[in-house]
């Protein structure tokens, strides 16, 4: 586990005297940079100090200090711990220059900060709302913004006990619905600028051109939000020249469930089941990241047996994720159902283990601060061993035999959706996407957490950077996961599964922490700020599906529209996490 | 075809004609035909959609109910399984999809979120239940409902279809219920078009609190 | 050779196809020799969810149901002990921990009052769970100090209206709880007895 002391081995203040100062608030770490010199310092951080991967960008609202803060987390792709730098601005006019010229990966995240916190980024190429729609009133994550069903600042609500007459939330709202309108609003006279218009103009301007005397035009195609192959309610607006993609914009927010706003109302423990619903394929790894972040803040150790159980669960979840990915990917390519049905069979067997241990197939809610909720029974361990030793290796091989050499598959995937290593790093790609571009960056190795440093496994990476590489990386990763599982199942010690006593109200020191895990889809990070209360002050999720889409346009431009579906499939997104 | 399922009780069929003849009413035949081929719209919203896919997949196999044909286009679907959280940004699209479905059409609210907003109900971008906009035929509680719970819901829906009568179902009556659900507008917040006068008067009331008006 | 990969893949599907029938044949043989059935029987379902499963994987709900494991959780319910005269002695003391720990805040409790004194008494007067908000996380059962609220196994709850569960619908006897979660119930009973014994011993010591 990284301690705050190991965070800043680089003395940025000495390099930029007068511009940079250390963040000296108790519990905080990192550097505070003067807003007007941000680009200069960030370039130095990337080029001089080697922190080339900008992992997360988010904002925090401090109305008590009259300040708005943007927090950046950067890492080295060669491994090592976190580098945090921040910019502070006055709250009534939060303006800062965009980091997109330095790291393209900041693009979508800065849009999110604008949408939810109202921080303006100058020189941003396309600063529009991203999760909410254009025209929505207010910036919801600001501390003084209240939602229509607002009851109390923090949970638990007083109306539930001891005099908890059941009332539905609608009864308390003047509109009898989950809505609120600004003062003086007249719905009859309401005229709105078409929110889509800004989106369409943000695409590359189309020009009608003469081609051999025939007037041609570009075509605009909307895919989604209801589309069988966008893996949920994702939408992409594509500008086409014939069948070739000229320009593309991802449009999201159709499943924006206000995870962060609700999370700042919940107590620390109450957030645990909500994290299940982020990447709903992999609730175990979601729990893992959140538990790590909070444990960092609490400064507690995890019981050893629990650590092993965590690794077992996280790796099982990775296998089922990648299996389903292969099946769904083939659906996207048009090989309807057969591989997906095979994959679901193995997934069901893995989910049986989750169900027997955690109580639920998908929404496991299994991790607790300092351990796990309940012990893995002998029966569950035996079943896991049977699967890991006798069944899953054969089934991964079967999937391999079924697909890998298939000529149609190879011709659809090879050389398509190319992403170079430099671009992958610059656009903050993580997970299999980054490794398929030839960067062997796996957090389990680069910045080991839990007990991953005790296991023997290879970081799978391929230099090609195309979709076939992404496919091969995932197939091989399943084998490596099985290798880890075998070792973990052999080494798992007896003992307690929780380091402290089970408690529903945890004590947390004021401060900040960033916990991250290598989730099946990439780096899943949780940034938590605590002010000493039982609820997190700021709670942000760095979702790999979301940030991996930064490069979607880069991947798609020049390809045919028919391949867009496959390229999107190969990124492996899940909407619960993308929109949060 | 199981003749016993179709036979109207009260009519004795001679033994030698059993399995070749069934005496039934038009209603029963109609309902039997429809309940056995409910085609859901291939339309996933959130977590529940994965359980819906799992119900389609090998272990639970909805094909046994004649529901394996998931149609991605609303024009060929009979049943909309609202599988997940309905957000304000998404609801115009959902209403449009519903309007495009040919009648008879059914709506199932799968899981807590679709039924009433679920654990995300307090969120600012969440519609507190799809029944605010669409007529829901069946609610399946659970977060998410397991595939077996979903199938239980589908069986309940079949039972509901069984009780229908051609002369009484809403879509064969004149006028009324063929009206489309108006698509809500995304303004400063979600505007339900059917409630515009209501919203207007409420906003006016809130903008001028009674205390001010008195003064 | 072009097409080799295709054929290899087709080989996999062919083996699967063949296995389906082979598996049914072997089970036919087992049925003759040992009387075990592949379908509509507990051993058949167990086989289909074990590592050895191949061929048909489907569990034919509703004719056969996949057994849920002990830890499975769905909607919570309230446990009551059956008194000597058949009275329902609810375990809940309306301490409110479940409603405090509930992440979506879907538990409403009205604390009971003693009609003679007007003071609060350790029993709920009203207890609601909004099943349409509940996220099945199991925190209420996990942190209840009185083993009074537990997660149910019943998932067949589909209805034609929304589901709000008042106290009468939530109450289920301890015998039902012991039936669905035998290991947990036994463990908790033991712990409770040990606690009571310790309490009695302490009282005795104090008296002496």
CB distance C72–A401 less than 8 Å? no
CB distance A502–C111 less than 8 Å? no
% of residues, chain B, pLDDT over 90: 10
Asked if C135 has any chain B CB less than 8 Å from its own CB, the reply is yes
User: By mean pLDDT, which of A110-119, A238-247, A318-327, C21-30 is the weakest?
Assistant: A238-247
What's the distance, Cα to Cα, between the start and end of chain B in Å? 76
Backbone phi and psi for residue C54, each to the nearest 5 degrees, phi listed first: -155, 170
Compute CA distances B47 → A257, B176, C135, whole Å: 12, 35, 12
Q: Tens digits of per-residue pLDDT, B82-101?
A: 988 999 989 998 998 998 88
pLDDT mean over A493-499: 89
pLDDT mean over B174-181: 66
Q: Are B65 and B38 in contact (CB under 8 A)?
A: yes
At B176, the pLDDT band (50, 70, 90 cuts) reads low
Beta bridge partners of A219: A240
Chain centroid to Cα A487, Å, comes to 28
Containing B127, the helix (H) or strand (E) segment is none
Answer whether residue A429 is part of any domain. yes
Strand ranges (DSSP E) for B92-144?
A: 106-110, 138-140
pLDDT mean over A133-151: 87
> Which residues between 271 and 300 in chain A have a beta carbon less than 8 angstroms from any beta carbon of chain B?
273-274, 277, 280-281
At A36, the pLDDT band (50, 70, 90 cuts) reads confident
Strand ranges (DSSP E) for A93-206?
A: 95-97, 120-122
Q: Tens digits of per-residue pLDDT, A503-536?
A: 888 888 899 999 999 999 999 999 999 988 889 9
- Cα distance from A405 to chain C (closest Cα, Å)? 4
Q: Which residue has the tokens 């229509």?
A: A148
The confidence score (pLDDT) of residue A394 equals 92
**Which of A277, A355, A390 lies closest to C69 in CB terms?**
A355
Asked if A358 has any chain C CB less than 8 Å from its own CB, the reply is yes
ipTM of the complex: 0.90
Answer whether residue A212 is part of any domain. no
Q: How far is residue C90's CA from residue C93's CA, in Å, rounded to a whole number?
A: 8
Answer whether residue A42 is part of any domain. yes
- Examine the fold and report which residue of A91, A122, A153 is the final residue of a domain before the chain moves on: A122
At B1, the pLDDT band (50, 70, 90 cuts) reads very low
The confidence score (pLDDT) of residue B72 equals 85
The confidence score (pLDDT) of residue C21 equals 93
Containing A216, the helix (H) or strand (E) segment is strand A214-216
Q: Which residue of A has its CA nearest to B42?
A: A228
The confidence score (pLDDT) of residue C158 equals 87
Compute CA distances A60 → A70, A71, A143, A532, B187, whole Å: 6, 7, 9, 16, 27
Q: Which residue has the tokens 């893949």?
A: C9
The confidence score (pLDDT) of residue A4 equals 42
Q: Which of A88, A46, A128, A116 is nearest to A541 (CA)?
A: A116
Work out the number of other CB atoms within 10 angstroms of the CB of residue A179.
Answer: 24
Determine the length of chain C. 208
Work out the number of other CB atoms within 10 angstroms of the CB of residue A375.
Answer: 18
The confidence score (pLDDT) of residue A3 equals 40
Q: Tens digits of per-residue pLDDT, A310-359?
A: 999 999 999 999 999 999 889 888 888 889 999 999 999 999 999 999 98
Provide the CATH number for the domain around residue A305: 1.10.645.10
Asked if B209 has any chain A CB less than 8 Å from its own CB, the reply is no
CB distance A258–B120 less than 8 Å? yes
Averaging pLDDT over each range in A146-150, A384-388, B65-69, which range is the top one?
A: A384-388
The confidence score (pLDDT) of residue A325 equals 92
Strand ranges (DSSP E) for C83-189?
A: 88-90, 107-113, 120-130, 149-151, 164-165, 171-173
Tell me: pLDDT of B74 over 50.
Answer: yes
CB distance A161–C103 less than 8 Å? no
Q: C-alpha angle with apex A470: A464 to A471, nearest 5 degrees?
A: 120
Structure tokens at C166: 């008042």
User: Which residues of chain B make contact with C162, given a CB cutoff of 8 A?
Assistant: 115-116, 129, 131, 139
Q: How far is residue A376's CA from residue A398's CA, in Å, rounded to a whole number?
A: 29
The confidence score (pLDDT) of residue B69 equals 81
Q: Which of A447, A441, A457, A491 is nearest to A307 (CA)?
A: A491
What is this structure's pTM?
0.90
The confidence score (pLDDT) of residue B210 equals 61
Provide the CATH number for the domain around residue A79: 3.30.460.80
3-state SS, residue C82: strand
User: By mean pLDDT, which of A192-206, A325-339, A408-422 is the weakest?
Assistant: A192-206
The confidence score (pLDDT) of residue B169 equals 77
- Examine the fold and report which residue of A105, A122, A139 is the final residue of a domain before the chain moves on: A122
Chain centroid to Cα C53, Å, comes to 25
Tell me: pLDDT of A7 over 60.
Answer: no
At B213, the pLDDT band (50, 70, 90 cuts) reads very low
Compute CA distances A557 → A229, A552, A571, C45, whole Å: 19, 9, 15, 50
Q: Tens digits of per-residue pLDDT, A41-67?
A: 899 888 888 888 999 999 999 998 889
pLDDT mean over B36-41: 88
Cα torsion B121, B123, B124, B128 to 10°: value is -10
Asked if C19 has any chain B CB less than 8 Å from its own CB, the reply is no
- Examine the fold and report which residue of A89, A122, A155 is the final residue of a domain before the chain moves on: A122
> Which residues between 324 and 343 in chain A have a beta carbon less than 8 angstroms from any beta carbon of chain C?
338, 342
Asked if A210 has any chain C CB less than 8 Å from its own CB, the reply is no
Q: Which residue of C has its CA nearest to B57?
A: C58
Averaging pLDDT over each range in B2-16, B88-102, B158-172, C80-94, which range is the top one?
A: B88-102
Answer whether residue A65 is part of any domain. yes
* Beta carbons within 8 Å of A434's beta carbon, 6+ residues apart: A77, A424, A425, A441, A522
Q: Tens digits of per-residue pLDDT, A171-184?
A: 888 888 888 888 87
**Which of B143, B146, B189 lies closest to A179 in CB terms?**
B189
Q: How far is residue A147's CA from residue A170's CA, in Å, rounded to a whole number?
A: 13
Structure tokens at C42: 């507990």
Q: Tens digits of per-residue pLDDT, A290-300?
A: 999 999 988 88
At A225, the pLDDT band (50, 70, 90 cuts) reads confident
Domain holding A116, by residue range, is: 12-122
Compute CA distances A533 → A101, A283, A511, whole Å: 38, 26, 11
pLDDT mean over A374-393: 91
Average pLDDT of the residues of chain C = 88
Q: Are B55 and C61 in contact (CB under 8 A)?
A: no
Q: How far is residue A395's CA from residue A339's CA, in Å, rounded to a whole number?
A: 11
Containing A81, the helix (H) or strand (E) segment is none
pLDDT mean over A482-502: 90
Same domain, A573 and A427: yes
The confidence score (pLDDT) of residue B215 equals 41
Q: How far is residue A240's CA from residue A242's CA, in Å, rounded to a whole number?
A: 6
Average pLDDT of the residues of chain A = 87
Structure tokens at A100: 């997109």
Q: Which residue of A has its CA nearest to C184?
A: A374
User: By mean pLDDT, which of A5-14, A570-579, C39-48 is the weakest?
Assistant: A5-14
Q: Are A32 and A24 in contact (CB under 8 A)?
A: no
Domains by residue range for chain C, with CATH: 1-66 (no CATH), 76-202 (3.30.70.3270)
Answer whether residue A523 is part of any domain. yes
**Which of B122, B143, B160 lies closest to C134 in CB terms?**
B143
Asked if A151 has any chain B CB less than 8 Å from its own CB, the reply is yes
Answer whether residue A439 is part of any domain. yes
Q: Number of A to B CB contacts under 8 A, please give it.
A: 175
Answer whether residue A252 is part of any domain. no
At A193, the pLDDT band (50, 70, 90 cuts) reads low
- Cα distance from B71 to chain A (closest Cα, Å)? 9
Q: Which residue of C has its CA nearest to A505?
A: C101
User: Which residues of chain C make contact with A357, given a CB cutoff of 8 A?
Assistant: 71
Answer whether residue A134 is part of any domain. no
Same domain, A364 and A511: yes
Asked if omega into A162 is within 30° of 0 (cis), the reply is yes
Helices of type H across A334-360: 338-358
The confidence score (pLDDT) of residue B209 equals 67
CB distance A149–B122 less than 8 Å? yes
The confidence score (pLDDT) of residue A1 equals 40
Partners for C (CB, 8 Å, 3+ pairs)?
A, B
Domain count, chain A: 2
Q: How far is residue A300's CA from residue A508's CA, in Å, rounded to a whole number?
A: 10
Tell me: pLDDT of C90 over 60.
Answer: yes
């Amino acid at each position: 586990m990284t301690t705050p002391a190991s965070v800043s081995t680089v003395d940025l203040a000495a390099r930029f005297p007068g511009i940079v100062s250390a963040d000296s608030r108790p519990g905080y770490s990192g550097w505070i940079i003067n807003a007007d010199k941000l680009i200069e310092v960030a370039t130095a951080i990337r080029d001089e100090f080697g922190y080339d991967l900008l992992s997360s960008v988010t904002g925090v609202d401090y109305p008590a200090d009259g300040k708005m803060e943007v927090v950046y987390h950067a890492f080295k792709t060669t491994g090592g711990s976190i580098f945090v730098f921040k910019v502070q601005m006055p709250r009534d006019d939060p303006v800062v220059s965009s980091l997109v010229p330095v790291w393209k990966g900041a693009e979508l995240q800065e849009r999110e900060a604008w949408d939810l916190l109202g921080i303006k980024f100058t020189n941003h190429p396309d600063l529009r709302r991203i999760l909410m729609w254009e025209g929505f009133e207010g910036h919801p994550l600001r501390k003084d913004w209240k939602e229509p069903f607002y009851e109390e600042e923090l949970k638990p609500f007083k109306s539930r006990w001891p005099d908890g007459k059941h009332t539905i939330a609608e009864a308390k709202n003047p509109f009898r619905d989950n809505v609120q309108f600004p003062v003086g609003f007249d719905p009859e006279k309401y005229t709105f600028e078409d929110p889509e218009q800004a989106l369409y103009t943000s695409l590359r301007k189309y020009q009608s051109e003469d081609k051999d005397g025939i007037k041609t035009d570009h075509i605009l195609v909307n895919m989604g939000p209801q589309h069988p192959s966008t893996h949920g309610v994702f939408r992409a607006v594509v500008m086409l020249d014939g069948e070739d993609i000229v320009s593309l914009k991802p449009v999201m927010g159709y499943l924006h469930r206000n995870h962060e706003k609700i999370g700042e109302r919940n107590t620390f423990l109450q957030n645990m089941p909500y994290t299940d619903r982020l990447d709903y394929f992999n609730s175990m790894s979601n729990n893992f990241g959140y538990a790590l972040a909070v444990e960092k803040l609490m400064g507690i150790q995890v019981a050893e047996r629990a650590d092993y159980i965590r690794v077992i669960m996280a790796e099982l979840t990775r296998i089922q994720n990648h299996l389903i990915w292969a099946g769904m990917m083939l659906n996207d390519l048009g090989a309807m159902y057969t591989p997906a049905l095979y994959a679901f069979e193995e997934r069901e067997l893995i989910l049986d283990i989750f169900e027997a241990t955690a109580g639920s197939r998908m929404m496991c809610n299994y991790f607790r601060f300092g351990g796990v909720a309940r012990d893995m029974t002998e029966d569950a361990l035996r079943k896991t061993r049977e699967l890991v030793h006798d069944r899953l290796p054969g089934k991964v091989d079967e999937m391999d035999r079924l697909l890998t050499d298939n000529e149609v598959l190879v011709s659809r995937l090879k050389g398509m959706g190319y992403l170079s290593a430099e671009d992958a790093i610059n656009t903050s790609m993580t997970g299999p996407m980054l490794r398929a571009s030839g960067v062997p960056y796996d957090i389990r190795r680069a910045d080991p957490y839990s007990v991953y440093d005790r296991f023997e496994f290879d970081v799978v990476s391929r230099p090609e950077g195309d979709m076939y590489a992404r496919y091969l990386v995932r197939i091989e990763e399943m084998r490596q996961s099985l290798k880890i599982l075998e070792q973990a199942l052999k080494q798992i010690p007896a003992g307690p599964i929780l380091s402290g006593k089970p408690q529903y109200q945890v004590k947390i020191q004021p401060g900040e922490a960033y916990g991250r895990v290598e989730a099946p889809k990439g780096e899943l990070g949780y940034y938590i700020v605590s002010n000493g209360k039982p609820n997190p002050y700021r709670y942000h999720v760095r979702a790999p599906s979301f940030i991996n889409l930064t490069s979607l346009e880069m991947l798609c431009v020049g390809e045919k529209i028919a391949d867009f579906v496959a390229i999107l499939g190969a990124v492996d997104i899940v909407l619960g996490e993308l929109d949060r | 075809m199981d003749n016993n399922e179709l036979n109207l009780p009260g009519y004795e069929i001679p033994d030698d004609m059993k399995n070749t003849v069934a005496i039934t009413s038009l209603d029963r035949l109609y309902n039997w035909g429809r309940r056995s081929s409910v085609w859901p719209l291939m339309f996933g919203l959130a977590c529940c959609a994965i359980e819906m896919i799992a119900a389609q997949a090998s272990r639970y196999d909805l094909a046994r109910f004649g529901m394996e044909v998931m149609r991605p286009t609303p024009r060929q679907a009979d049943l909309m399984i609202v599988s997940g959280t309905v957000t304000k940004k998404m609801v115009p699209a959902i209403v449009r999809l519903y309007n495009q479905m040919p009648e008879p059409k059914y709506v199932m609210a799968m899981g807590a979120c679709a039924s009433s907003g679920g654990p995300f109900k307090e969120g600012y971008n969440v519609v507190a239940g799809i029944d605010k906009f669409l007529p829901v035929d069946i609610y399946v509680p659970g977060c998410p409902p397991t595939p077996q719970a979903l199938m239980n819901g589908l069986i309940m829906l079949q039972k509901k279809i069984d009780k229908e009568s051609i002369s009484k179902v809403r879509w064969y009556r004149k006028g009324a219920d063929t009206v489309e659900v108006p698509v809500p507008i995304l303004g400063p917040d979600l505007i339900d078009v059917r409630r515009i006068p209501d919203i207007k008067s409420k906003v006016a009331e809130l903008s001028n609190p009674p205390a001010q008006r008195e003064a | 050779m072009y097409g080799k990969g295709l054929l290899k893949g087709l080989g996999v599907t062919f083996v699967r196809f063949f296995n389906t029938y082979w598996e049914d044949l072997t089970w036919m043989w087992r049925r003759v020799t040992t009387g075990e059935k592949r379908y509509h029987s507990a051993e058949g379902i167990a086989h289909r969810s074990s590592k050895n499963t191949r061929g048909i994987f489907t569990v034919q709900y509703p004719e056969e149901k996949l057994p849920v494991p002990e830890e499975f959780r769905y909607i919570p319910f309230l446990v009551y002990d059956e008194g000597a005269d058949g009275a329902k002695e609810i375990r809940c003391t309306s301490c409110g921990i479940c409603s405090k720990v509930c992440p979506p805040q879907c538990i409403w409790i009205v604390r009971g009052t003693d009609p003679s004194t007007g003071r609060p008494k350790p029993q709920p007067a009203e207890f609601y769970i909004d099943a349409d908000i509940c996220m099945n996380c199991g925190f209420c059962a996990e942190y209840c100090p009185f083993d009074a609220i537990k997660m149910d196994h019943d998932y067949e709850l589909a209805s034609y209206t929304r589901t709000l569960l008042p106290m009468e619908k939530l109450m289920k006897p301890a015998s039902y709880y012991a039936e669905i979660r035998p290991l947990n119930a036994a463990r908790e009973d033991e712990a409770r007895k040990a606690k009571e014994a310790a309490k009695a011993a302490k009282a005795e010591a104090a008296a002496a």
